[in-house]
Amino acid sequence: MAEPRRTIGEHGIIGNMETAALVANDGTIDYLCWPAIDSPTIFADLLDRESGGLFSIEPHLEDPRHLQLYIPETNVLMTSWSAVDGSAEVVDLMPHPDASPHVGPDARCLIRRVRARRETVTFTVRCAPRFDYAREVPKVEPAQAGVVFQGRDLKLNLFSSVPLVCEDGAATAEFTLAAGESAWFILGAETLVCPDDECIENEIAATTTAWRSWVSRSTYKGRWREQVLRSALSLKLLTSAKYGSVAAAATFSLPEATGAGRNWDYRATWIRDASFTVYAFMRLGFIEEAEHFRHWAAERVMDSDAEHPIHVMYAIDGSEAADEKELPHMKGYADSRPVRIGNAAHAQSQLDIFGELMDSVYLSNKYGRAISRDGWKHISGIVDYVIEHWNEADAGIWEMRSEPRHFLHSRLMCWVALDRAIRLANKRSLPAPLVAWAECRDQISADIWDNFRHPEHGYFVQTRGGTELDAALLMMPLVRFVSATDPVWLKTLDAIADQLCDDGLVYRYRNADGLEGGEGAFTTCTFWYAECLARAGRLDQAQLVLAKGVAYGNGLGLFSEELDKRGLPLGNFPQALTHLAFISAAYFTDRRLDPGHQPLWQP
């Protein structure tokens, strides 16, 4: 197994709510899909250090210290190098879509401004894109104030304030800056207009202002404000400005187990995340984002039919998610193969998605816009589907690729689907067979209490008639199926702490799942666990778990999908579901710590 040149956690993220790039703490952009987050990569050195493509900036300094930070309350990233013989920094961003463009009618571009801070510093820059998931080396030709990268279906301009040299598939530069001097590079589509120094500075200032303007709308004033706002800013980067959907992560095929085959594509929108997204944005005061996502989800419901009401996941634009494919030419992160794009889980049966969808519909109606008559007809069809299929085996929330099983979490969320539909019908006086719905809801409840308990210890378990635990059980009090202080639930919480937890890290399960290799602790579950502790009144423990969960993020406050046994990041990055869960846990713990505080919005 080859050691990665840069680890998953050693990155920040920048973007324009259409695509996103990862910037390593040594100043290298080693991951970027173009022009959209689910488009093929143009830089993928993170997944193939020999041929993936990168955009590096390297100062000639002896043994420098690397440091990364965001300009406060923005997604404008600064990477610095500090050494005895000098210091330098690079500011990386993509122009915010709400900022007035200074680089032509199409503001989609990547801007890098490098500066010598102390002493005279020499830099080497290399921009070597590899189009179509590193399957195409573009032609490089000189152009006015830059170069052009020409591929079969893609053309990119790279402009620079310093001379560029064309090489085989790359553009390079070597230049020297005195203290206080700067240079810039801008990469974008063929419509990009060559800027000047003032234009670059204006673009940085406008994007900084736009991000700060967005953050100022937040109503969150709690004790984790800085971390919560970083999570909100990260989620905003993963949110499509055009569609309102939220990508599960910016990346694909970063492994859940290094050197193994647990490599999935997360550049899609899972219906499962619907209620979490609505919760998080509403709790922070970002009502517009919650409504935009709700509208996107509603369109998926309106496009559904009785046989297949909704799918597990969708492409960012709402179309059918891509089929899973392997890229055998790519070596993978730390030789973790195969590298996959698309996701076969989109064809699985995952019955829990109906509960998450209905929870988001209920919340949106309770605190936002009322559902339409046609929308309610489709929702009623979904409820009928749940009534017909709730007692079936499925792949579950963790999308296991073994034989389908009867998972408690899937059963729980079918209960949620019926419960929220009944509440909504009552709240809005909507036509519905409420007696039949309530009877089915109560039947599901009885099934969970009777058939999903440990035969000896009595706590809830992962599957019907089983004995294994599952961190997805942490959702039970969060969706109000069971009281957070119910004795059976507290037994379950203690069992999860004993069997699935390690220093605040929470593993999803311990039993076999049909895949090779082990996996790490699931970061989302850490924050679910913290919120369950807070709801149970165990506030000291909840705060400690929250603090540990935050500490296991990287230095920028970004969370990966999983963590290995040393607490180092694994999986796709940054993970939207984890940031959503953190916001929820921080918000609820704040309420418990300050019972006199009356929030503007309550779940």
The CATH number of residue 466's host domain is: 1.50.10.10
Using 50, 70 and 90 to split pLDDT, how confident is the model at 425? very high
Indicate whether 377 and 490 sit together in one domain.
Answer: yes
Indicate whether 349 and 418 sit together in one domain.
Answer: yes
Residue 600 forms part of a structural domain: no
Indicate whether 232 and 209 sit together in one domain.
Answer: no
88-135 pLDDT, tens digit each? 999 999 999 988 666 666 678 999 999 999 999 999 999 999 999 999
Number of domains in the chain: 2
- Domain boundary at 157, 185, 215, which? 215
Question: What's the average model confidence in pLDDT over 359-376?
Answer: 88
Length of the chain: 603
Residue 2 forms part of a structural domain: no
Question: What's the average model confidence in pLDDT over 152-179?
Answer: 97
What is the reported pLDDT for 367?
80
Indicate whether 230 and 154 sit together in one domain.
Answer: no
What is the reported pLDDT for 306?
62
Higher pLDDT, 558 or 310: 558
Q: Does 479 have pLDDT greater than 90?
A: yes
Name the residue among 111, 74, 67 with its Cα closest to residue 88.
67
What is the reported pLDDT for 462?
98
Contact (CB, 8 A) for 16 and 76: no
- Domain boundary at 215, 236, 270, which? 215
What is the reported pLDDT for 602?
47
483-526 pLDDT, tens digit each? 999 999 999 999 999 999 998 899 999 987 767 767 899 999 99
Q: Does 597 have pLDDT greater than 60?
A: no
Residue 601 forms part of a structural domain: no
What is the reported pLDDT for 304?
79
- CA–CA distance, 509 with 374 (Å, rounded to integer): 40
- CA–CA distance, 220 with 524 (Å, rounded to integer): 21
Indicate whether 50 and 23 sit together in one domain.
Answer: yes
Question: What's the average model confidence in pLDDT over 437-446?
Answer: 98
Lowest mean pLDDT among 190-194, 216-220, 374-378: 190-194
Lowest mean pLDDT among 423-432, 503-512, 582-591: 503-512
- Domain boundary at 169, 188, 215, which? 215
Name the residue among 600, 599, 557, 602 with its Cα closest to residue 578.
557
Mean pLDDT (the chain) is 94
Tell me the percentage of the chain whose pLDDT exceeds 70.
96
Residues 6 or more apart in contact with residue 333 via CB below 8 angstroms: 4, 8, 46, 47, 253, 254, 255, 258, 263
Could you give the C-alpha distances from 577 to 108, 499, 580, in angstroms and in order? 26, 23, 5
What is the reported pLDDT for 601?
41
Question: What's the average model confidence in pLDDT over 170-194?
Answer: 95
Residue 527 forms part of a structural domain: yes
Residue 101 forms part of a structural domain: yes
**Secondary structure (3-state) at 586:** helix
Indicate whether 211 and 286 sit together in one domain.
Answer: no
Indicate whether 291 and 209 sit together in one domain.
Answer: no
320-329 pLDDT, tens digit each? 999 999 999 9
What is the reported pLDDT for 599?
45
What is the reported pLDDT for 105?
62
What is the reported pLDDT for 102?
63
Q: Does 435 have pLDDT greater than 80?
A: yes
Indicate whether 191 and 57 sit together in one domain.
Answer: yes
Tokens of 347: 């064809």
Residue 73 forms part of a structural domain: yes
Contact (CB, 8 A) for 75 and 239: no
Using 50, 70 and 90 to split pLDDT, how confident is the model at 365? confident
Residue 6 forms part of a structural domain: no
The residue segments making up the domain with residue 570 are: 225-593
Contact (CB, 8 A) for 336 and 319: no
Question: What's the average model confidence in pLDDT over 587-596?
Answer: 83
Question: What's the average model confidence in pLDDT over 441-458?
Answer: 98
Indicate whether 208 and 301 sit together in one domain.
Answer: no
Question: What's the average model confidence in pLDDT over 214-232?
Answer: 96
**Secondary structure (3-state) at 187:** strand
Residue 413 forms part of a structural domain: yes
What is the reported pLDDT for 106?
67
| C-alpha dihedral (552, 553, 555, 560), degrees to nearest 10 | 130
CATH code of the domain in which 156 resides: 2.70.98.10
Indicate whether 186 and 256 sit together in one domain.
Answer: no
Indicate whether 35 and 66 sit together in one domain.
Answer: yes
Tokens of 367: 């605190």
Indicate whether 290 and 409 sit together in one domain.
Answer: yes
What is the reported pLDDT for 490?
98
Handedness of CA 532, 535, 541, 546 (dihedral sign): positive
How many other C-beta atoms are found inside a 10 Å radius of the C-beta of residue 50?
A: 9
Q: Give Cα 405 distance to the centre of its chain.
A: 27
Using 50, 70 and 90 to split pLDDT, how confident is the model at 600? very low
Contact (CB, 8 A) for 572 and 249: yes
- CA–CA distance, 600 with 597 (Å, rounded to integer): 10
293-311 pLDDT, tens digit each? 988 998 998 887 767 789 9
What is the reported pLDDT for 595?
64
What is the reported pLDDT for 5?
85
